[in-house]
């Protein structure tokens, strides 16, 4: 059980069992029965009752770990047995030989208040509301901070089995609501037991607990196997005791609300008339509810299960291999203290690269107007073919999770005159910028822009280019973040000969959500606003008349300062690629061109992350202390891609492109499985 794994046992919590007494000699309860256990019936003073009911109920709560039988939900809690039954005058049900009157129950509740009881279990009930005196005692108890688990009743097949019995129905009385849980019973298949009263009018305060084939009352040689809401109610009482012991800052009302809030839905969605709030779920109750606030030197970071983030592939598994570097503590909506591993808040970057995929078929229109002095103005619009099976970037959410299934569209306006030109491009829904200059493209593409500007001028054999772009980011079910990434680049392309050229580029990235293609929602506290400067050099060189070398190398320098995570040492990253292309028709291989390449995608080579975070306290209420954590920003592996591609001309003028790729240390994670990729496309020019 997750609660036990978290160290919760119920130790130090007194659970009052208002019932038919207890057998003090019960082996499973040895050391678990308080000496304050009593009999509140005037003049009787016999706390050891005539039947096993109260003993069996107490065993569900506090049966000890003793090597035989079963274990109670809160096995180290203390039972304060309060006998309140009378015998022989059960007018409501002549078949019962034990019943409970309002006067005795009133005395029992007052006794619980006076004897430091935190949780009260009442596995009893009847068809009618109780007396004003009982209600007054119940009000005194809830005002004193006591909380109650009360069985719903076993009249599921009866005339009023659609509603809980009294006093369980007080769970939704405004005077007591929030301090009482009325409990039905389900079986091991999470199906409501046929005998159990349903939630009915008390649905907002109703939980279902295990109440079929319950093992309790073990004595070393045999056990009882019992059914009834009498035995699902103490399971909830034990759960309340576990919460109050594990999280001593909680009030009883907090514990009740947590169990109701974290219940597992059963039956109709939401609160319903059968299962009420749902099925008791201790695992979820011992997880943070709502957002978890982690203190930082600049305030706090909010961790929620609904938000997600990932670091760029250049960092690989750097955060996840940091060990305990990002283990800390935080508080949930109930101010409960939890251990938190902030590294787990960042996922792995999406696999692959969208620019490796063939462009989707597009419908394109172009309008060109000639101007004076040889100038030209052109407008080009394009859109992906509707429902195209080739639009892999749209259909593969693992590769591009920020894209949805909407149609990719873009527009380019270009003006040229003489040796100069300017252009503006705008795209949406994942359309790619056409400004691929052959130098620094790996860095510029990280901004994932949807608006870009370019200016170019040619001087002799050199073309000088400046381009910049701005992008929004969106993920499924997340709010769009506007203008969160941008780049600026200056490039030079030098045509050294008709078959050779040399390219240079320098530029910068401004990424508000995280460095080098990372994604972290701005309002989550996990965003890592960063700036990157980069440089790249590459070119194409003729080695022979039919053999060409393509090469590129790039470097980047990244700084960031996040809410809790920063780079105390600047991150240096690199990328490179080498390729050989030949016109293979002369080689008799049945292809037009053949290209072999080997490349290393962007990888962080050095850098140090640092965080100033709270340490886990020795005791729950100790004041938090902070310490600085530092760990390497470099991943464990180095991704290497090797590919072989070819272009084949067909007789009808069309062409088939084939490309196979082998990837080692995918996403820069050492020992990642080697991946093999085969891609193909067909096209024809009209």
Using one digit for the tens of pLDDT, what is the confidence trace for 481-497? Answer: 889 999 999 999 999 88
Please tell me the distance from the alpha carbon of residue 631 to that of residue 568, in angstroms, as a whole number: 10
Please tell me the distance from the alpha carbon of residue 322 to that of residue 326, in angstroms, as a whole number: 7
- pLDDT category, 297, cuts 50, 70, 90? low
Please tell me the distance from the alpha carbon of residue 62 to that of residue 270, in angstroms, as a whole number: 32
Q: How confident is the model at residue 389, as a pLDDT?
A: 42
Tokens for 445?
Answer: 């593409």
CA quadruple 266, 271, 273, 277: dihedral sign = positive
Please tell me the distance from the alpha carbon of residue 486 to that of residue 465, in angstroms, as a whole number: 17
Assigned domain for 387 exists: no
Query: 21: closest CA among 73, 74, 84, 66?
Result: 84
Q: How confident is the model at residue 99, as a pLDDT?
A: 87
Q: How far is CA 47 from the centre of its chain?
A: 50
As a whole number, the mean pLDDT across the chain is 88
Q: Looking at the predicted structure, is the pLDDT value of residue 34 above 90?
A: yes
Assigned domain for 194 exists: yes
Domain carrying residue 227: 2-285
Q: Which residues have a catalytic role annotated?
A: 19, 53, 230
Query: 385: closest CA among 359, 362, 357, 410?
Result: 362
Please tell me the distance from the alpha carbon of residue 576 to that of residue 574, in angstroms, as a whole number: 7
Question: In this predicted model, which residue has the larger pLDDT, 167 or 657?
Answer: 167
Total number of domains in the chain: 1
Residue pointed to by tokens 């809160």: 74
Assigned domain for 37 exists: yes
Assigned domain for 674 exists: no
Q: Looking at the predicted structure, is the pLDDT value of residue 289 above 80?
A: yes
Q: Output the CA angle 379-381-383, nearest 5 degrees.
A: 175
Q: Which of 65-69, 461-465, 470-474 has the highest mean pLDDT?
A: 461-465
* Cβ–Cβ < 8 Å for 332, 289: yes
- Helix (H/G/I), strand (E/B), else coil: 107: helix
Q: Where are the beta strands (DSSP E) in 476-517?
A: 481-497, 500-511
Please tell me the distance from the alpha carbon of residue 112 to that of residue 121, in angstroms, as a whole number: 11
Question: In this predicted model, which residue has the larger pLDDT, 428 or 283?
Answer: 283
Q: Looking at the predicted structure, is the pLDDT value of residue 395 above 90?
A: no
* Cβ–Cβ < 8 Å for 577, 597: yes
Please tell me the distance from the alpha carbon of residue 12 to that of residue 34, in angstroms, as a whole number: 11
For residue 38, the domain's CATH number is: 3.40.50.200
Inter-axis angle of helices 229-246 and 53-62, nearest 10: 40
Average pLDDT (289-316) is 77
Q: How confident is the model at residue 391, as a pLDDT?
A: 42
Q: Looking at the predicted structure, is the pLDDT value of residue 387 above 50?
A: no
Q: How confident is the model at residue 175, as a pLDDT?
A: 96
Strands 14-19, 119-122: pairing is parallel
Assigned domain for 557 exists: no
Average pLDDT (245-257) is 98
Average pLDDT (342-352) is 75
* Residues contacting 147, CB < 8 A, separation 6+: 118, 119, 120, 179, 180, 181, 240, 252, 253, 255, 256
Q: How confident is the model at residue 183, as a pLDDT?
A: 98
Question: In this predicted model, which residue has the larger pLDDT, 547 or 106?
Answer: 106
Question: In this predicted model, which residue has the larger pLDDT, 238 or 402?
Answer: 238
* Cβ–Cβ < 8 Å for 296, 564: yes
Q: Looking at the predicted structure, is the pLDDT value of residue 269 above 60?
A: yes
- pLDDT category, 620, cuts 50, 70, 90? very high
Assigned domain for 372 exists: no
* Cβ–Cβ < 8 Å for 451, 425: yes
* Residues contacting 638, CB < 8 A, separation 6+: 600, 603, 665, 668
Average pLDDT (380-396) is 54
Q: Looking at the predicted structure, is the pLDDT value of residue 400 above 80?
A: no
Q: Looking at the predicted structure, is the pLDDT value of residue 235 above 90?
A: yes
Assigned domain for 436 exists: no
* Residues contacting 221, CB < 8 A, separation 6+: none
DSSP lists the bridge partners of residue 167 as none
Question: In this predicted model, which residue has the larger pLDDT, 154 or 684?
Answer: 154
Question: In this predicted model, which residue has the larger pLDDT, 339 or 347?
Answer: 339
Assigned domain for 346 exists: no
Q: Looking at the predicted structure, is the pLDDT value of residue 92 above 70?
A: no
Using one digit for the tens of pLDDT, what is the confidence trace for 205-231? Answer: 999 999 999 999 998 889 999 999 999
Using one digit for the tens of pLDDT, what is the confidence trace for 565-605? Answer: 899 999 999 999 999 998 876 666 677 888 999 999 999 99
């Amino acid at each position: 059980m997750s609660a036990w794994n978290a160290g919760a046992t119920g130790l130090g919590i007194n659970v009052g069992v208002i019932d038919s007494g207890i057998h003090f000699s019960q082996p499973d309860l040895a050391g678990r029965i308080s000496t304050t256990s009593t009999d509140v019936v005037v003049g009787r003073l016999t706390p050891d009752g005539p039947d096993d009911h109260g003993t069996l109920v107490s065993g569900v709560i506090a049966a000890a770990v003793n090597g035989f039988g079963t274990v109670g939900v809160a096995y180290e809690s203390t039972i304060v047995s309060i006998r309140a039954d009378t015998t022989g005058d059960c007018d409501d049900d002549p078949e019962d030989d034990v019943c409970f009157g309002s006067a005795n129950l009133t005395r029992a509740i007052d006794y619980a208040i006076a004897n430091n009881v935190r949780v009260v279990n009442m596995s009893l009930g009847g068809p009618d509301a109780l007396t004003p005196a009982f209600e007054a005692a119940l009000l005194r108890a809830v005002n004193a901070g006591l909380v109650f688990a009360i069985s719903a009743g076993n009249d599921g097949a009866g005339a009023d089995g659609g509603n809980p019995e009294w006093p369980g129905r007080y769970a939704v009385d405004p005077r007591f609501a929030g301090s009482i849980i009325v409990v039905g019973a389900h079986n091991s298949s999470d199906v409501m037991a046929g005998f159990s009263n349903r939630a009915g009018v008390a649905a907002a305060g109703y939980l279902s607990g295990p109440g079929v084939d319950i093992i309790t009352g073990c004595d070393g040689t045999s056990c009882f196997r019992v059914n009834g809401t009498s035995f699902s109610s103490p399971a909830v009482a034990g759960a309340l005791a576990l919460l109050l012991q594990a999280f001593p800052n909680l009030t009883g009302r907090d514990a009740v609300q947590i169990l109701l809030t974290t219940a597992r839905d059963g039956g109709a969605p939401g609160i319903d008339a059968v299962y009420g709030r749902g099925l008791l779920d201790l695992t979820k109750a011992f997880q943070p509810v709502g957002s978890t606030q982690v203190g930082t030197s600049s305030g706090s970071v909010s961790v929620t299960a609904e938000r997600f983030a990932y670091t760029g592939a250049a960092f690989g598994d750097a955060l996840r291999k940091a060990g305990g570097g990002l283990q800390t503590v935080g508080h949930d909506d109930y101010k409960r203290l939890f251990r938190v591993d902030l590294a787990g808040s960042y996922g792995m970057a999406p696999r692959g690269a969208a620019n490796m995929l063939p462009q989707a078929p597009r419908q394109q229109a172009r309008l060109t107007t000639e101007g004076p002095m040889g100038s030209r103005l052109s407008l080009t619009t394009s859109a992906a073919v509707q429902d195209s099976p080739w639009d892999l970037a749209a259909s593969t959410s693992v590769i591009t999770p920020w894209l949805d299934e909407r149609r990719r569209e873009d527009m380019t306006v270009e003006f040229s005159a003489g040796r100069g030109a300017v252009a503006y491009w705008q795209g949406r829904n994942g359309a790619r910028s056409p400004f691929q200059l052959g130098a620094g493209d790996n860095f510029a593409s990280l901004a994932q822009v949807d608006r870009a500007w370019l200016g170019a001028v040619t001087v002799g054999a050199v073309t000088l280019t400046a381009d910049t772009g701005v992008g929004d980011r969106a993920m499924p079910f997340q709010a769009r973040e506007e203008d969160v990434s941008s780049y600026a680049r200056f490039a030079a392309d030098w045509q050294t000969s008709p078959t050779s050229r040399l390219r240079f580029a320098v530029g910068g990235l401004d990424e508000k959500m995280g460095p080098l293609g990372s994604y972290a929602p701005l309002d989550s506290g996990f965003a890592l606003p960063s700036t990157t400067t980069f440089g790249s050099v590459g070119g194409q060189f003729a080695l022979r008349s039919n053999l060409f070398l393509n090469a590129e190398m790039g470097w980047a320098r990244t700084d960031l300062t996040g809410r809790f995570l920063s780079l105390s040492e600047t991150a240096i990253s690199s990328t490179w690629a080498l390729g050989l292309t030949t016109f293979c028709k002369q080689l008799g291989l049945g292809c037009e061109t053949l290209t072999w390449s080997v490349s290393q995608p962007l990888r962080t080579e050095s850098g140090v992350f640092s965080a100033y975070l709270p340490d886990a306290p020795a005791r729950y209420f100790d004041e938090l202390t902070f310490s600085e954590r530092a760990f390497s920003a470099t991943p464990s592996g180095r991704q290497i891609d090797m590919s072989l591609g070819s272009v084949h001309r067909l007789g009808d003028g069309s062409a088939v492109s084939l490309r196979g790729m082998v990837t080692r240390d995918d996403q820069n994670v050492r020992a990642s499985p080697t991946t093999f990729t085969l891609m193909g496309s067909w096209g024809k020019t009209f």
